[in-house]
Amino acid sequence: MLSASVPVLRFTSLLFSCTLLLRLLMVASAIDKDERLWIREDDDN
């Protein structure tokens, strides 16, 4: 049972880390967009 569950654990951990990286990238891109919006508003003023 243990030898059969090891690849599954590795796959789930890899999938979890990939989703975390994707979320971090999405948050970073959202922050960049917010900063650009702020800069645009400052330029308008």
Q: What are the residue boundaries of the structural domains of the chain, listed by start?
A: 1-45
Give the integer Cα–Cα distance in Å for 21 and 15. 10
- Summarised one tens digit per residue, pLDDT across range 6-42 is 899 999 999 999 999 999 999 988 888 877 776 666 6
**pTM attached to this predicted model:** 0.57
Give the integer Cα–Cα distance in Å for 14 and 38. 36
Q: What pLDDT, on the 0 to 100 scale, is given for residue 36?
A: 74
